[in-house]
């Protein structure tokens, strides 16, 4: 199951992903992003992503293509070692910009100064699916 919480910080949208970025939920991340209001910068917080499979990688690549076409910046934030290793093994690491510590600190400061942005508002809660049939690249 994948839960996504959206946080709007000025012209930056942060999507906090919690759970498994796997089939069939990975497509919902892409759809949610494409339906969201246009932001100049989209940041995917992957700190709480526990698994990614081929569908999850496909969703990330699709979002990367969307960001190039739309002129929005796409960045990954809080990339854990398993996700980073997966991006390196699939030669996708150079395709994604990863937020620096300074950028993450700037986002945190903006969140603290915007009372309405300090609260995470759930925008999408995906139904739990039987993941036993999904083979993941890592778990």
Q: How confident is the model at residue 129 (pLDDT cuts 50, 70, 90)?
A: very low
What pLDDT is recorded for position 12?
A: 86
User: What length does the chain have?
Assistant: 139
- The residue among 55, 45, 43, 41 whose CA lies nearest residue 17 is 45
Q: How far apart are the first and last CA of the chain?
A: 13
The pLDDT value given to residue 91: 96
Q: How many CB atoms lie within 10 A of CB 58?
A: 14
pLDDT at 108: 75
Percent of the chain with pLDDT over 90: 42
Q: Which domains are assigned to the chain?
A: 2-133 (3.30.750.24)
Of 73, 65, 83, give the one whose Cα is nearest residue 42: 73
Mean pLDDT, to the nearest integer, of 14-37? 87
Residue 6: strand pairing partners: 15, 121
Q: What is the pLDDT of residues 50-107, one digit of tens each?
A: 999 999 999 999 999 989 998 889 999 999 999 999 999 999 999 999 987 788 788 7
pTM: 0.74
């Amino acid at each position: 199951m994948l839960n996504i919480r959206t946080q709007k910080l000025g012209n930056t949208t942060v999507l906090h992903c919690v759970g498994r970025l796997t089939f069939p939920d990975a497509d919902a991340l892409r759809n949610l992003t494409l339906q969201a209001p246009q932001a100049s910068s989209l940041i995917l917080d992957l700190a709480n992503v526990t698994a990614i499979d081929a569908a999850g990688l496909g969703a990330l690549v699709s979002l990367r293509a969307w960001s190039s076409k739309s002129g929005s910046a796409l960045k990954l934030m809080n990339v854990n070692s398993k996700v980073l290793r997966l991006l390196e093994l699939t030669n996708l690491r150079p395709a994604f910009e990863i937020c620096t510590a300074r950028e993450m600190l700037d986002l945190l400061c903006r969140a603290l100064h915007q009372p309405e942005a300090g609260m995470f508002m759930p925008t999408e809660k995906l139904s739990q699916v039987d993941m036993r049939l999904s083979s993941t690249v890592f778990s």
